[in-house]
Amino acid sequence: MREQIKWRNAGVFVLLASLCVIPAPGLAQDAPTDYVGENHVWVLNCNSHGYKLKSKYPLSWYDENYRYHEKRVTLYMGKTCDASTVSFGKGTWCWANGGFVADLVKRRIGFPRQELICDAQSLPMKCRC
């Protein structure tokens, strides 16, 4: 009798553990997509002008005058292949099969093996490398 209860409890444990591991379909689709570029996590937002990637955590760097900076950065990438940030200046961006990259005046930010996807708008991908 004790052996039956032991195996039944083990079965209940396995069932509960598997429910914790299997994601709910509705929750997985609503989660925002994170991108990784230059070893930092970026969150994507889209609008009619293009893409906006904001660093999830502060970036840290030294500028050309050896001053230390640490702050969150927003990268704007437009439909006309222009790119800009307050911290790193303006430039261009493009995409290829290997991912996408923003070439700015003070920094190059690459996002290897990733694709920009926006559910709200259908933005054209004209900016080929």
The pLDDT tens digits for 7-46 are 555 554 444 445 444 444 433 344 457 899 988 999 999 8
- Separation between Cα atoms, residue 60 and residue 86, nearest integer Å: 14
The pLDDT tens digits for 93-110 are 999 988 999 999 999 999
Nearest C-alpha neighbor of 87 from the set 32, 40, 36: 40
User: Phi/psi zone of residue 111: left (φ > 0), alpha (ψ -120 to 50 degrees), beta?
Assistant: beta
* Chain centre to alpha carbon of residue 26: 20
Q: CA-CA distances (angstroms) from residue 40 to 11, 17, 101, 109?
A: 42, 32, 14, 10
> What ranges do the domains of the chain cover?
31-112
* Chain centre to alpha carbon of residue 38: 11
